[in-house]
Amino acid sequence: MSICKVCLFLFFFPFLSFAQLAKSYTPLPIQDTIPAITYTSLSKRLDVDKSQVAEPQKKVNNYIKYLYEERFKYVVSNFNDDYIITEGELTSYLQQILTNIYKSNPQLSQETMVYAFRSSIPNAFSFGDGNLAVTLGLLSRLKNDSQVAFILCHEMAHYHRKHGDKQIQALAKLNYDKELQKKLEHNNTYSYKKELIKSLELSITKHSRTYEFEADSIGLTYFLNTNYDRNAPVECMDILSKSDKGLDQNIIDFKKYFDFPDYPIKPSWLTYEKSTTWHKSEKDGEFGDSDTTHTHPNCMRRQAALKRQLQGKGAVTITSANDLFQSIVTQSTFEQITSHYHFKKYGKALFGSLLLLERYPENAYLHAMVSKCIYQLYTHQKNHEIGKVLEQPDSRFDDNYDQFLTFFQQLRLTEIASLGYFYSAGRRQIDASNEDFWHAYWLCSQLPVSKILPSKVKAEYAATFPKGKYLTNMP
């Protein structure tokens, strides 16, 4: 039986080999809108949820329905804003593991779907309406199928125990709590409503502490019904507890990448002192968004609880990471770069590309990404908007990221332009058979220091790729 599953697996998932990635990478498609079939099934689900609301107070009833509608809109916006990956190997892989867990747990009806989610913050969530998600950042940190399975069991437990619905109900009751209303009488209704919606979002991304322990404990009972490795739950907590540190701590060798015969690197660029300031507030950006920073102190307590529950549960099976799993991890790592670029976090995309080039030094996709990001830094610097796409150094960042930010933040406009142009021109002889290279080279040929006209680059690209996918974007 299990052998059959493995065969099916390999048949459906053409995994990425090191040999392929040595040369290039083809990113997953990014959908612009929610697939119609998904929208329809979510709407149906919303109707069912609303029809089952049965609180004694009518206004509480209506308010719960209203919050379900808001939840529905929130989930749809996550599809429409390209965070949820609906197609491709990552999502199919997660879905396959989810199905395996349900097969081992016939007491549960298979009401959930799982998706890979475009975020680098290691996290997973249950939206409460049957949709589960695992971020690319978490996927790239896990070590085997069993760990993925435990993460999914935890999220399934949130769903099947209706933690999200319970939080919505509590929120609605709170909203009509007479005591609370008195206190809020002087509050502006609009901002109060906004606060409530915010707490709804929070209830999706950050379940309360009690629910976390319950999801671990119930999730573990689902997990123990499967054949996955029993070391995984405890290992997952170790991984989560370390998740505010970057996975790759290597210091980038700027001289290796940005020292050109016609444009030598300036030694002054390479001086670095660890930042002493805090530029980022706890509220905005990833410090604030990160679930893990808040759950950290909890991870070790959750691990202890899991260990207690696992005592005397029989032999541990050992699974080692297989080729498919390695391919999933690698794809998650590449897709984080693609996502950062798509969401205009050019600093992060550039940083990730430079780190990954250490492992795949001849990957044309990564080299093109470096050129494109520098081009974007140039245009944003020119419009005095670099702060939107490249963070300021911050003493709380990992050393390698802080050093990277220091390097790029000190450059003048013409220096950024020069790095972009010389970098992409330097790949001309090597990457000419790659379309991403041509797109990057065409962008960088528009930089003021360029020695080649964009029209000439376009003509050369068209000659090599008469049906090139970027041609339509080149006016």
Contact residues toward Zn ion (CB under 5 A) are 207, 212, 215
Q: What is the DSSP letter of 268?
A: G
Q: Where are the beta strands (DSSP E) in 122-253?
A: 124-126, 131-135
> How far apart, in Å, are the Cα atoms of 30 and each of 26, 33, 62, 74, 410?
12, 9, 36, 19, 33
Angle of helix 58-80 relative to helix 189-205, nearest 10 degrees, comes to 60
- Least Å distance, CB 303 to Zn ion, is 14
Strand partners, 134: 116, 124
Closest distance of CB 207 from Zn ion, Å:
5
Distance CA(194)–CA(192), nearest Å, equals 5
Q: Which is nearer to Zn ion, 24 or 292 (CB)?
A: 292
Residue closer to Zn ion, measured from CB, 79 or 125: 125
CB closer to Zn ion out of 133 and 354:
133
Q: Which is nearer to Zn ion, 212 or 391 (CB)?
A: 212
Is the distance from CB of 331 to CB of 16 less than 8 angstroms?
yes
Closer residue to Zn ion (CB): 89 or 212? 212
**CB nearer Zn ion, residue 67 or residue 156:** 156
What are the counts of helices (DSSP H) followed by strands (DSSP E) for the chain?
23, 4
Q: How far is the CB of 155 from Zn ion (least distance, A)?
A: 7
Which contiguous run of DSSP H or E holds residue 2?
A: helix 2-12
- In angstroms, give the least distance from the CB of 112 to Zn ion: 14
Measured from the CB of residue 347, what is the shortest distance to Zn ion in angstroms? 30
CA pair distance 460, 282, nearest whole angstrom: 48
Question: Smallest distance, Å, CB 282 to Zn ion?
Answer: 22
The Cβ-side half-sphere exposure at 148, using a 13 Å CA radius, reads 33
